[in-house]
């Protein structure tokens, strides 16, 4: 594991510990709460934090989106959430009103895209024409070129 990955993993572990502590406090408040409205609010907060913890443990470039998490928020709040989760705010549909964005790890996303592009290599057909009157040096040059092509794959 590279140094950068270790640093990122350490940040994730810190966030996870912080969220787990917050979750524990909310569960304690939930047990002591008698008001049904406040109890419902606390339950929603605990579910949201549990989802955040689950997303932190998820190594995929795009954490799953819960339909309840889809909401309209201002840009500053979205950037703040992205920073808190160590993710990037990625604009999926900037032309929409309001623009559609999601929180992703952009480096992983870009890496996955580049991997897909590399997998889609084009089949290139190369040919060499040799005549009867070819010189010995020209023949060696063409053979070297063919050997280079076959070495590359």
As a whole number of Å, the end-to-end CA separation of the chain is 30
Tokens of 109: 């996303």
Per residue of the chain (153 residues), give pLDDT as tens: 455 556 667 777 788 888 888 888 888 888 888 887 888 887 888 877 777 776 665 554 455 556 666 777 888 888 888 888 888 888 888 888 778 888 888 898 888 888 887 777 666 788 888 888 888 999 999 999 889 888 876
Q: Is the pTM of this model over 0.75?
A: no
Vertex 102: Cα angle to 62 and 49 (nearest 5): 75
Over residues 75-117, the pLDDT tens digits come to 888 888 888 888 888 888 888 877 888 888 889 888 888 888 7
Whole-number Cα distances in Å, 69 to 31, 51, 98, 137: 25, 10, 16, 70
């Amino acid at each position: 594991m590279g140094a950068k990955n270790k640093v990122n993993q350490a940040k994730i572990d810190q966030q996870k510990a912080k969220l787990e502590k917050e979750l524990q406090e909310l569960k304690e408040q939930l047990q002591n709460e008698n008001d049904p409205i406040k109890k419902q609010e606390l339950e929603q907060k605990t579910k949201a934090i549990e989802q955040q913890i689950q997303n932190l443990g998820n190594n995929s470039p795009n954490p799953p989106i819960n339909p309840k998490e889809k909401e309209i928020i201002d840009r500053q709040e979205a950037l703040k959430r992205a920073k808190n989760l160590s993710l990037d705010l990625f604009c999926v549909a900037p032309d929409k009103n309001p623009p559609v964005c999601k929180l992703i790890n952009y480096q992983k996303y870009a890496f996955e895209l580049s991997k897909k592009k590399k997998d889609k290599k084009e089949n290139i057909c190369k040919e060499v024409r040799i005549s009867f009157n070819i010189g010995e040096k020209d023949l060696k040059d063409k053979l070297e070129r063919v050997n280079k092509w076959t070495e590359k794959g």
